[in-house]
């Protein structure tokens, strides 16, 4: 597979440089970052079990072949390395490694009033609470005045010849209505199904299990049918921006060995920001429902598609919510997959000079329902501080410090929290 990825990249580059220049336009771009950070006491106990100090580098290269005004071929490649790590990476001495990943590869075609993107591409629904990741599928869209009408189908799991019943698919319709320049409404409805969800992989049939919120002991080997109904709203009142998202998840998870489960889960969030001279103020509140009784036939903990670092993704605090370093999160928190979780944030950014910005954010987080491991609700109070400076045009550096005043739900077991997690780090990045 690694050889195939490298060969694919080579073929794309050879075609780009050997065809006549008049045949199409080549557009290149990319992103690069290097981070150094240390995370200490993340288990709620300074025993060293979850301590981590590392330096890593990520490179993303973008290549688009613009064949004509109505046809583009888009490719994005990614290379990751943890410094000092060899094998398939390139971070050790000698640096040789085969670590090229295909992030996206799709055709963008406009056919009359219809635009279609076909292939592996980025998709976000529900402001990331349903999905925010790369998917393999098709997006078809058309416009009616200021209204955009997109529809998508993508495959979550391919069962293969001998397991065709394990095919998992998602369908979604998500129109975007614009009301002048001050209000946008994006309702959506999505449906996912699998005839046989009995598998160990990373699809929506694992519901919230990868985020630590799935029904205990549930064996979903007799079919899945789940739907998401929700909406995003964005409004501007002068210099004040306000946004909100609400999603309901329903459907059923059927089992032969345990019990059938009816899904009744929901989430809601609201936030806003306002500039006041050199200072910008912001805040948000997010609530994702939890399951109040793991033994009944209702499953009420919110979930998106997949989880555990894939699929649905909503990053928030540096320590509890994956943040800029997205390496690990403290126990009890479901990190970038908010489920059985609510949190409130207030923050501000100050620009004392053109190239320097100073940001501070305060978070408080807790579980709506008792955590299954600790039987506690309160995660704690987190303080995040970030300074960003533009070293040269196109390159900036972040300095990050975060501290969590942990409560009893930030623990690996029911013995409670003993120590407070903390994190410091820096990130150097460019984009072009």
One-letter-per-residue 3-state SS of 46-115:
CCCCCCEEEEEEEEEEEEEEEEECCEEEEEEEEEEEECCCCCCCCCCCCCCCCCEEEEEEEEEEEECCEE
How many Å from the N-terminal Cα to the C-terminal Cα in the chain?
29
β-sheet bridge partners, residue 305? none
pLDDT tens column, 76-95: 999 999 999 877 788 888 87
User: What's the rounded Cα separation, in Å, for the pair 143 and 115?
Assistant: 9
In this predicted structure, the answer to whether residue 201 has a pLDDT above a threshold of 60 is no
Q: Which two tokens stand for residue 42?
A: 């993340």
Cα-based distances in Å from 243 to 183, 191, 331, 344: 10, 25, 29, 15
Residue 15 per-residue DSSP state:
H
Residue 426: which of 35, 52, 39 has the closest Cα? 35
Residue 215 per-residue DSSP state:
P
β-sheet bridge partners, residue 168? 157, 194
Per-residue confidence (pLDDT) for residue 157, from 0 to 100 = 81
Give the chain's radius of gyration (CA, Å): 23
- Cβ burial, residue 110 (10 Å; 0-12/13-18/19+): middle
β-sheet bridge partners, residue 155? 136, 169
Per-residue confidence (pLDDT) for residue 222, from 0 to 100 = 66
- Any idea how long the chain is? 432
In this predicted structure, the answer to whether residue 383 has a pLDDT above a threshold of 60 is yes
Locate the domains of the chain by residue range. 113-312
Q: Write down the mean pLDDT value for the chain.
A: 88
Which CATH number applies to 113-312? 2.40.160.100
One-letter-per-residue 3-state SS of 327-383:
CCCCCCCCCCCCCCEEEEEEEEEEEEECCEEEEEEEEEEECCCCCCCCCCCEEEEEE
pLDDT tens column, 331-370: 989 889 899 999 999 999 999 999 999 999 999 999 999 8
Q: What global pTM score does this model have? A: 0.89
Are 90 and 96 a contacting pair, CB within 8 Å? yes
Query: Residue 430: which H helix or E strand, with range?
Result: strand 422-431
Per-residue confidence (pLDDT) for residue 91, from 0 to 100 = 86
Residue 412 per-residue DSSP state:
S
Q: Which of 40-49, 126-135, 413-422 has the highest mean pLDDT?
A: 126-135
The backbone region for 230, taken as left when phi is positive above 0, alpha when psi lies in -120 to 50, beta otherwise, is beta
In this predicted structure, the answer to whether residue 248 has a pLDDT above a threshold of 70 is yes
pLDDT tens column, 279-297: 999 999 999 999 888 778 8
Contacts of 238 (CB under 8 A, 6+ apart): none
pLDDT tens column, 173-195: 999 999 998 999 999 999 988 77
In this predicted structure, the answer to whether residue 203 has a pLDDT above a threshold of 50 is no
Q: Which of 19-33, 128-142, 154-168, 182-196 has the highest mean pLDDT?
A: 128-142
Strand ranges for 223-278 from DSSP E: 224-237, 240-253, 261-276
Are 166 and 196 a contacting pair, CB within 8 Å? yes
Cα-based distances in Å from 272 to 102, 123, 282: 35, 23, 6
* Three-state SS at 325: coil
């Amino acid at each position: 597979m690694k050889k195939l990825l490298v060969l694919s990249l080579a073929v794309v580059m050879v075609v780009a440089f050997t065809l006549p220049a008049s045949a199409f336009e080549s557009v290149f771009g990319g992103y690069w970052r290097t981070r150094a950070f240390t995370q200490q006491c993340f288990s709620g106990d300074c025993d060293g079990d979850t301590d981590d100090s590392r330096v890593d580098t990520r490179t993303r290269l973008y290549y688009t072949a613009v064949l004509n005004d109505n046809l583009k071929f888009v490719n994005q490649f990614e290379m990751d390395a943890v410094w000092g790590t060899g094998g398939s990476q390139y971070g050790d001495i000698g640096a040789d490694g085969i670590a090229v990943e295909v992030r996206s590869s799709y055709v963008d075609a406009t056919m009359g009033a219809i635009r279609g993107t076909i292939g592996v591409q980025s998709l976000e629904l529900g402001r990331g609470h349903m999905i925010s990741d790369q998917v393999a599928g098709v997006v078809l869209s058309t416009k009616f005045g200021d209204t955009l009408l997109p529809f998508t189908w993508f495959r979550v799991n391919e069962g293969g010849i001998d397991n065709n019943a394990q095919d998992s698919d998602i369908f979604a319709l998500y129109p975007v209505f614009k009301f002048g320049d001050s209000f946008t409404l994006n309702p959506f409805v999505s449906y996912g199904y699998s005839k046989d969800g009995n598998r160990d992989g990373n699809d929506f049939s694992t519901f919230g299990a990868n985020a630590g919120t799935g029904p205990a002991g549930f064996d979903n080997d007799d079919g899945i049918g789940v739907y998401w109904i929700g909406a995003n709203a964005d409004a501007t009142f002068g210099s004040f921006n306000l946004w909100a998202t609400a999603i309901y998840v329903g459907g059923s998870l059927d089992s032969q060995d345990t019990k059938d489960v009816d899904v009744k889960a929901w989430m809601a969030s609201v936030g806003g920001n306002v500039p006041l001279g050199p200072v910008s103020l912001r805040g948000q509140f997010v609530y994702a429902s939890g399951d109040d009784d793991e033994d009944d036939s209702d499953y009420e903990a919110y979930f998106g598609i997949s989880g555990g670092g894939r699929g649905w993704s909503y990053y928030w605090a540096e320590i509890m919510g994956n943040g800029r370093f997205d390496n690990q999160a403290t126990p009890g928190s479901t990190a970038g997959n908010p489920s059985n979780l609510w949190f409130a944030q207030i923050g501000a950014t100050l620009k004392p000079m053109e190239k320097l910005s100073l940001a501070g954010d305060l978070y408080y987080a807790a579980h709506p329902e008792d955590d299954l491991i600790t039987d506690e609700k309160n995660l704690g109070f987190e303080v995040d501080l970030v300074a960003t400076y533009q070293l040269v045009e196109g390159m900036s550096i972040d300095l990050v410090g975060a501290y969590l005043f942990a409560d009893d739900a930030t623990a690996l077991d029911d013995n409670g929290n003993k120590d407070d997690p903390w994190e410091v780090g820096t990130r150097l990045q460019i984009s072009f």
